[in-house]
Amino acid sequence: MSLSKKQQRFTGCIGQLITYAYSKGYGLTQGDSFRDERVHGGFNEQKSYSAARSVHKIRLANDFNLFIDDEYIKDGGHDAWLDLGEYWESLDDDARWGGRFNDANHFSFEHWGCK
């Protein structure tokens, strides 16, 4: 499958995740999404805080900030993160939730062995 097709699937799933979050009463704001190579380096290049092989660089990752009753939920162990993460993983075989690797606000698709 082409990267473009996978990016389109990813975007559709992000829409579903946002809809699900709001249906549960959660609020979301945008965190990191696309990481421009002019700032972060191209894929396989370490130029900033971003990992060299970050799927943010190929438009397959999105980080969110989570709010419940207007309270920012920093704790990655909060039940709401698990709820969102498990829902995300149910949407697609390539869906990966960062809570499985200590990054609860990260929602991505695996590509080229990276998540």
pLDDT in tens, 36-82: 787 677 776 777 777 766 899 999 999 999 999 999 999 889 999 99
- Please report whether residue 99 resides in a domain: yes
Q: What is the CA radius of gyration of the chain?
A: 14
Task: Return d(Cα 25, Cα 37) in angstroms, integer.
Answer: 35
Within-domain flag for 46: no
DSSP sequence for 16-48? HHHHHHHHTTEEEEE------HHHH-STT---S
Q: Which domain holds residue 25?
A: 3-33+59-109
Of residues 44 and 107, which shows the higher confidence score? Answer: 107
Average pLDDT score over the chain: 92
Q: Is the pTM of this model over 0.95?
A: no
What percentage of the chain reaches a pLDDT higher than 70?
A: 95
Q: Domain count of the chain? A: 1
